[in-house]
Chain A
Amino acid sequence: MNSDQVEFRNVSFRYNDEQPWVLNNVSFSIKSDEWVAIIGHNGSGKSTIAKLINGLIFPDQGEIFVNGIKVTADTVWDVRKQVGMVFQNPDNQFVGTTVKDDVAFGLENRGVERSEMIKRINASLAAVRMSDYIMHEPHRLSGGQKQRVAIAGVLAVQPHLIILDEATAMLDPKGRTEILTTVYDVKQNHQLNLITITHDLNEIIHADRVIVMNNGEIWTETSPRALFMEEEGLREIGLDIPFIAKLANELNKQSLTLTKQPINQKELLDELWTFHLNK
């Protein structure tokens, strides 16, 4: 049995023959229970990966496996049972006329019994802290709340893998924080794989691993901490590291050597404190 949850083997994809490759010979694998962030500038191919994983599009070359199943037109419905996706635009994925109906949508599609459905709707809305809004209509919710409902809709069908495809890109800072905390909680409390796709490096610090995309190819595959040292290279491919990482790199450059790359403000202050004591 394959312990890899997702595997890409030399995958290439383009929308038609005249256009350049959106993905060019991409290979990677994601292990069970792992949280992987995929980052890259707009148009780097990162969202294409998400669509390939659950068979919304199919590769021109190469193979994709999800939990051991090869993704093809014949297996696509089995694959989709294991993969839950949250998209960028909060409005364009809200199908139901109320929160409750929307969470039910995926369950209805899978033919889940009504009594079981109600149980799962309540549990998944509780997990994203939206229980108080169960009867609300979508136009009375904020963007962040709609995205939390979308996450609940995905949790309700109990997939092995959840993909958040730029789920925070259209939200205000409050909504973004809401989603990031929700995702963090969900990952802590559920046994599942998580792929978060983003261009904001502030959102990757909790991920186990980062895959950086550039022009349809994997630019690097590393840990968030190690990635923050690649300031120059990232800037060249249109990405920007968080302030703390920039400051740390600047301090390092000025021979105030830190023992490890800090990932948040507290770590940087601790590093400086150690430096301060040791001198």
Chain B
Amino acid sequence: MANSLIIGQYVPTDSLVHRLDPRTKIIIIFLFVIFIFFANNALSYGWLALFAVASALATKIKLKFIARGLTPVWFLIIFTFILHLFVTREGPVLFEIIGLPIYSGAIIQGFAISLRFFLLILVTSLMTLTTTPIEITDAIESLLHPLKKIKFPVHELALMMSISLRFIPTLMQETEKISKAQASRGVDFKTGPIKDRIHAVVPLLVPLFVSAFKRAEELAMAMEARGYQGGEGRTKLRELTIAKLDWIAFLSFSCVLIGLFLLRQ
């Protein structure tokens, strides 16, 4: 299941969505997340769903892949639906299930909430599917820039994030290597009672921490040797530029929002 979950995965294609400035994507998604709560009838929900599906199509990633990747989320959505079915008590009773009355309002409410939930997840996954983690980091750094005035360590935060991203694969390899070495010394990670298995993690975690600290120390030294002295006076290779395409995206999204307010009751 872990492999099929696509949230957080990046899939490279040559779509326009990929080419958008990551800040554009973050802002649009942020607004979408807020304005979805303004939808209050079938038409307005349909309108936002249309936008979400159109965006998904525009990424040029196979819809089947996205749908399959959201499988684990379906359970949550269905669960939400069922919960609402039994809890909401609005409108006339339509029928009963195992003695519990189901109200018409519950079906509508359950449907609306599940749809909202689904759209939120779909749109945010589109963000990570089309934007590399480092682009997201750059975007966050840039969007948080004004906070520098109140001494918020924006540059340090961004650097921390990008270094973490850089070292994820390295530490994954390391974990595999150490777990194999300990398995060769008779540690059993896979069978036995939970208590023993938790115990088996110690010989894995200690070396992993030791090595992570050593790496951090060496990395800090290497960075210093390469002249790193904090964000002051630094230039940047990675540059974010708002292009024509981004303005078009903002314009289109404004139309979506205007449509939303025209269609809602």
Interface residues of A (CB under 8 A from B): 51, 54, 56, 77, 80-81, 83-85, 87, 89, 91-98, 100-101, 104-114, 117-118, 121, 137-139, 153-154, 157
Closest 3 A-B residue pairs measured CB to CB?
A: A93-B222, A104-B237, A92-B218
Residue of A nearest to B168 (CB): A139
Contact A91 B162 (CB under 8 A): no
In the complex with contacts A104-B237, A107-B235, A111-B233, A77-B166 CB distance below 8 A: no
A110 to B237, CA, bound (A): 12
A83 to B224, CA, bound (A): 12
Contact A56 B166 (CB under 8 A): no
Contact residues of A: prevailing secondary structure: helix
B234: chain A residues at CB < 8 Å are 108-109, 111
Interface-central residue, A93, A94, A97, by most chain B CB under 10 Å? A97
B225 at the interface (CB under 8 A from A): yes
Contact A157 B227 (CB under 8 A): yes
Of the candidates A91, A108, A137, A153, the one whose C-beta lies within 8 Å of that of B237 is A108
B132: chain A residues at CB < 8 Å are 97
Contact A85 B225 (CB under 8 A): yes
Contact residues of B: prevailing secondary structure: helix
Q: Mark B75-105, 1 if CB is under 8 A from A, else 0.
A: 0000000000000000000000000000000
Residue of B nearest to A110 (CB): B227
Of the candidates A92, A109, A137, the one whose C-beta lies within 8 Å of that of B227 is A109
Contact B219 A114 (CB under 8 A): no
Residue of B nearest to A153 (CB): B226
**In the complex, which range does the number of interface residues on chain B fall in?**
20 to 34
B194 smallest CB distance to A (angstroms): 33
B170 at the interface (CB under 8 A from A): yes
B170 smallest CB distance to A (angstroms): 6
B173 smallest CB distance to A (angstroms): 7
B57 at the interface (CB under 8 A from A): no
B117 smallest CB distance to A (angstroms): 32
B228 at the interface (CB under 8 A from A): yes
In the complex with contacts A97-B134, A97-B166, A80-B227 CB distance below 8 A: yes
Contact B218 A109 (CB under 8 A): no
Of the candidates A81, A93, A113, A137, the one whose C-beta lies within 8 Å of that of B235 is A113
15 new A-B contacts, CB < 8 A, other than A96-B162, A118-B237, A121-B237, are A80-B225, A87-B221, A87-B222, A87-B225, A95-B223, A95-B226, A105-B228, A106-B226, A109-B229, A109-B234, A111-B234, A114-B236, A114-B237, A139-B170, A157-B227
Q: Mark B200-233, 1 if CB is under 8 A from A, else 0.
A: 0000000000000011001101111111110001
A53 smallest CB distance to B (angstroms): 10
Interface-central residue, B215, B228, B229, by most chain A CB under 10 Å? B228
In the complex with contacts A91-B215, A92-B218, A101-B238 CB distance below 8 A: yes
Of the candidates A97, A107, A121, A154, the one whose C-beta lies within 8 Å of that of B165 is A97
Task: List which B145-165 residues lie within 8 A (CB) of chain A.
Answer: 162-163, 165
Residue of A nearest to B219 (CB): A92
Contact B225 A56 (CB under 8 A): yes
B219: chain A residues at CB < 8 Å are 92-93, 95
B48 smallest CB distance to A (angstroms): 34
A96 to B236, CA, bound (A): 12
B221: chain A residues at CB < 8 Å are 51, 56, 87
Q: Mark B28-65, 1 if CB is under 8 A from A, else 0.
A: 00000000000000000000000000000000000000
Residue of B nearest to A138 (CB): B166
Contact B239 A114 (CB under 8 A): yes
Of the candidates A93, A105, A139, the one whose C-beta lies within 8 Å of that of B173 is A139
A91 to B215, CA, bound (A): 8
Residue of A nearest to B134 (CB): A97
Residue of A nearest to B167 (CB): A91
B124 smallest CB distance to A (angstroms): 22
B169: chain A residues at CB < 8 Å are 137-139
B150 smallest CB distance to A (angstroms): 24
Contact A89 B227 (CB under 8 A): no
A87 to B225, CA, bound (A): 10
Residue of B nearest to A83 (CB): B225
A93 to B233, CA, bound (A): 22
8 A-B pairs in the complex with CB atoms less than 8 angstroms apart: A84-B226, A87-B225, A92-B214, A92-B219, A97-B134, A97-B162, A105-B223, A111-B234
A89 to B220, CA, bound (A): 13
Residue of A nearest to B135 (CB): A97
B257 smallest CB distance to A (angstroms): 34
A104 to B235, CA, bound (A): 10
Contact B222 A95 (CB under 8 A): yes
Residue of A nearest to B234 (CB): A108
A96 to B166, CA, bound (A): 7
Residue of A nearest to B232 (CB): A111
Contact B165 A109 (CB under 8 A): no
Contact B222 A92 (CB under 8 A): yes
A187 smallest CB distance to B (angstroms): 20
